[in-house]
Structure 1
Amino acid sequence: MHHRIRPIRSAAVALSTVALGAGVLAAPPASADPTPALRAAKAAAPATDSTPSTIAAQWIAGELTNGLLVGKFGADLGLTIDTGMALSTVADQGATVTAINDALEPRIAEYIGDGKKEAYAGATAKAAAFARTAKKNPTSYGGRNLIAELEARTADATTTTGTPPVSTPNPLAGRISDTSEFGDFANVVGQSYAVRALALANSAEAGAARDFLLKQQCTSGYFRLDFDKAASVSQSCTEGVAGSEAAPDATALAVINLVESGDKTPAVQAALAKAGGWLVARQRGSGAIRSAGEGASINTNTTALGGYALGLLKNRDAALKAALWVRKNQPVDKYKCRTALTKDTGAVAYRKDRATDAKTTGIPADARDEWRRATSQAILGLQFAPASKDRLQIVAAKREARAGDSVQFSVFGLAPSESACLQVKGDFVRVKGKKSGDKIVRKLELPAGNQRRVALVKTSDDEARTSLRVRN
């Protein structure tokens, strides 16, 4: 059985370079190189289709302004980092990752604090993880030693009190915390990035950070989002207790960062197995994963993160299902099927209703941030979108027909959930690939005129055609 191989278009890099502006790409580009964990996961999966993640990457690269995503309140450095880490998994996006890094590194203090009066542990951890992703040294990033600063924000294993000094075990050992006049907002997501950054730096504090993260996993397998108060005796997730509610996004990110940390200890492997089982149990038959907390919904962010985590755990079926659901929310309405969203081909909607509305209005200016956030996470989940069974082709049921007849056409080679436009002069219909990958059958009405007409099926990056004689 042959799988259609999609070439990665050089337009991806061209688009990124133009959008980022002159002078940004002074440094040699980082390679957009999947991590060993992602390479191993994809090797264990069925053949995947690079198209949905590629066109999503192209779209969000075009949203960058001089290497940064800029919102209503200025540059959004956190979302920019998320985008850079997602783009690092997509072929031919190395130049964009480098451009993001070159824009971010000089401004890193705006994100992580000055390191003295203001020092944000979770942001420092995520920045350190991104620095490594961008092939930079996190110990000398923007003039800062992110690892040393993160270690300073990670609680030591013991505390020393009294005279003479006496050392006692620290119940907060490994926990990250902020120094800030605004309060301590460190949480489990930041802790998971800290585990990844410290482990990859071979820090002496990596083990304690990992152990504290594992305490945030409840017996059912999920991770909660927030820590207990520092004065609390427990410091562990306790199912059924306020503050220990399930957090699907935090669970997925804990899995992703634990896998990327490279920690193979039995405790980590057991935690990953439990978290993976919980995510699978939460996944619906459609492939979607519902978020939690206030405003909980079925959405592409939670589904893509959960699917990517399950993919890294080599749960092929669950990752595939999630990717199919996310791909359904990536409108590709081009050619005769074009809509107001055509100029934003590749963008992923947070929810289906957002895509439906935007087909008429386009993406509203005040909703663009939501589409960017959805797309940056979707790139990850789409890594496990399955490929088509065959090459793209279209076959007409007749070789000859009369003008005005509705003729049946069969389309082969659409990847599951892939959008396409089936068209002939005067008529068109939107189609999506079946989960099974089997042929799609639709009818088109033939135009007037005694001549040979061409019927086409077009995807975002491919097309096939056939012809038939039309007589009045």
Structure 2
Amino acid sequence: MRHRNRPLRTATAVLATAALGAGVLGTSPASADPSPALRSAKAAVSTDSTPSTIAAEWMAGELENGLLISGTNPDFGLTIDTGMALSTVSSQGGTVTAINNTLEPRIAEYVGNGTAESYAGALGKAAAFARVAKKNPTSYGGINLIARLEERTADVPADPAAEPQKAAIAGRIFDKSASGNFANVVGQSYAVRALTLAQSTEAATARDFLLKQQCASGAFRADFANADLPNQSCTDGVAGSEVDPDATALAVINLVESGDKSAAVVGALAKAGTWLADRQRNSGAFRAAAPVSKINTNTTALSGYALGLLKNREASQKAALWVRKNQPVDKYKCRTALTKDTGAVAYRKDRVKASTTSGIPAEARDEWRRATAQAILGLQFAPASKDKLRIVSVRKQARSGERVQFRVFGLAPSESACMQVKGDFLRVKGKKSGDKIVRKLQLPAGNQRRVGLVKTSDDEARTSLRVSN
């Protein structure tokens, strides 16, 4: 099996990380440390580290002094998503540290000042990132994120029977803001993860409220019911209970990472995993909920990663293969305007076609970043190649102008590559089966030995044959 854990581009990535950290890194870079849940999920499968690694390298290059910028402003949420995704890639510990060293002093800009403004979902997500970055969420940037999150989590009333409405919302997170309350199910799942890992006394109640958001079908909805309604649970088919694959996948991911092994959580994860697997298309892709309602790499990567953590090997690999198809890799004569953005993942296939001539448009770059940040996760389960990368000519000599058959071995499923002889080239992708690729290339004029090449994002192989006029 070919496991390219040290791609040829690693040296470039190290330089990019060093430049990123200049003036930011206050401590030695730590190696990324995939969670026990991810290590366990990947222990029994053979995966290719290349697609997640090159996606991570591209995302690291998009950071500006440790932050991702949307328009002219820091996007703290996307930066945290990126940091958490990069923590799953072994070579990106320095980048995670750089993100943390910029984010931590500014965390109040994301979670609120704690008085007039305090955002529950952001607090949960920030606390989850703090742990990934090997920091203490009870003292992060001078803020006790856990204590603030507990303040934003509804308490169980002293007498539930006397206060049924308070009992109904016990464990639910709420924002405190002049702009309104925008807490939702995704934020609740991050809050459960953060409170559980902190061994908070409010963790179980927050978890129970999250589980209320799971419908009988196994899916989670995206939004809560109005806080004044007596029924705070999801009800399939009822307005306000529309199921959402992204919310379901994130609920699964955060529940798994919380380490909660209670019977209620185990049962909820099994139901959610079944629902996600049933929603997967034959291609491996997933469709987003309305109003998006389109197949895309974000939904597919998150769903595939969730299924991977649940150890559904077949479903997670199918999703990873589909995501990898949307990661253009153009080398040698196959170069396009996207070559300089090798590793980036498109939100949808049509974005690749639209960008091959002029590159990623400035106004679309944010979309590519969001797609790639989540793609890193789903690509963790991309299957490995069966063999070492090789190219073989079926003939030892041929005449110029002839089309000669070449065989390529060792391409991982859905892996992009470029085959080339002087004057001719072809783009190819690895078969799902991992079997050899057979293609013909036209030989150039000239009485001399010619080289046939195959190039992937991080590897290359060559062969030769004698050509005569």
Shorter-normalised TM-score: what interval? over 0.9
1:3 is displaced (CA, Å) by 3.4
Does the CA contact (< 8 Å) of 1:4 and 1:392 recur in 2?
A: no
Alpha-carbon deviation of 1:4? 4.5
Are 1:39 and 2:36 counterparts?
no
Question: Once the two structures are superposed, what CA deviation does each residue of 1:348-372 show, in whole Å capped at 9, x if it has no partner?
Answer: 0000000111111100000000000
Write the distance in 2 (CA, Å) between the matches of 1:71 and 1:263.
35
Residues 330, 338 of structure 2: 8 Å contact kept? yes
Secondary structure of 2:168's match? coil
Q: Which residue of 2 aligns with 1:412?
A: 409
Selected match of 1:300 from 297, 301, 315:
297
Unmatched 5+ residue regions in structure 2? Answer: none
1:309 maps to which of 306, 309, 323: 306
Once the two structures are TM-superposed, the CA of residue 13 in structure 1 deviates from its matched residue by: 2.3
Distance 1:290 1:402 in 2: 50
Q: Secondary structure at the match of 2:150?
A: helix
Separation in 1 of the partners of 2:206 and 2:31?
29
* In 2, Cα distance between equivalents of 1:4 and 1:371: 26
Given residue 27 of structure 2, which amino acid in structure 1 is its aligned partner?
A
AA aligned to 1:326 is: V
Cα contact 1:4–1:391 (8 A) shared by 2: no
CA distance in 2, matches of 1:5, 1:418: 13
Q: Deviations over 1:266-309 (max 9, x none)?
A: 11001000000000010000000000011210000000000000
Instruction: Write the mapping of 1:33-432 to structure 2, written as runs, cut at 5 A.
Output: 33-44=33-44, 46-158=45-157, 170-432=167-429
Structure 2 distance, partners of 1:465, 1:3, is: 17
Deviates more, 1:416-425 or 1:167-176: 167-176
Cα distance in structure 1, aligned partners of 2:188 and 2:374: 19
Residue 16 of structure 1: CA displacement? 2.0
Asked if 2 retains the 8 angstrom alpha-carbon contact of 1:13 and 1:96, the reply is: no
In structure 2, what residue type is equivalent to 1:156? D
Is 23-32 or 295-304 further displaced after alignment? 23-32
SS in structure 1 at match of 2:357: helix
Report the Cα distance in structure 2 between the residues aligned to 1:113 and 1:394, rounded to whole angstroms: 57
Q: Paired residue for 1:11?
A: 12
Partner Cα distance (2:325, 2:217) in 1: 30
**Given that residues 286 and 325 in structure 1 are in contact (C-alpha distance below 8 angstroms), is that contact kept between their aligned partners in structure 2?**
yes
SS at match of 2:231: coil
Contact 2:21 2:95 in 1 (8 A): no
Residue 442, structure 1, aligned to residue 439, structure 2: yes
Name structure 1 gaps, 5 residues minimum.
Answer: none
Quote how far apart the aligned CAs of 1:221 are: 0.5
Task: Please give the per-residue CA displacement for 1:428-469, whole angstroms capped at 9, x wherever unaligned.
Answer: 000000000000011100001000000010101111110000
Distance 1:278 1:10, change over 3 A: same
AA of the residue aligned to 2:33? D
Correspondent of 2:468 among 456, 466, 471: 471
Question: How far apart, CA to CA, are the structure 2 residues paired with 1:85 and 1:152?
Answer: 25
Counterpart Cα distance in 2 of 1:115 and 1:41: 38
- For the residue of structure 1 that corresponds to 2:122, the secondary structure is helix
Q: C-alpha distance in 1, partners of 2:265/2:5?
A: 37
RMSD (Å), alpha carbons: 1.2
Contact kept, 8 Å, 2:21 with 2:98, in 1: the verdict is no
Deviations 1:40-83 (A, max 9, x none): 00013x21000000000000100000000011141100000000
1:24 equivalenced with 2:24 (yes/no): yes
Letter in 1 for 2:56: A
Q: Deviations over 1:195-232 (max 9, x none)?
A: 00000000000000000000000000000000001100
- Give the CA deviation at 1:376: 0.1
Paired residues, number: 465
SS at the partner of 2:130? helix
Give SS of 2:461's match: strand
C-alpha separation between the residues in 1 aligned to 2:389 and 2:420? 15
Cα distance, 1:5 vs structure 2: 4.0
Compute the displacement of 1:158 (Å): 1.1
Q: Answer yes or no: is the 8 Å Cα contact 2:3–2:49 preserved in 1.
A: no
The answer to whether the 8 A contact 1:31-1:95 is kept is: yes
CA distance in 2, matches of 1:417, 1:167: 57
C-alpha contact 1:288 1:299 (8 A) present in aligned 2: yes
Q: In the aligned structure 2, how far is the partner of 1:297 from the partner of 1:355?
A: 16
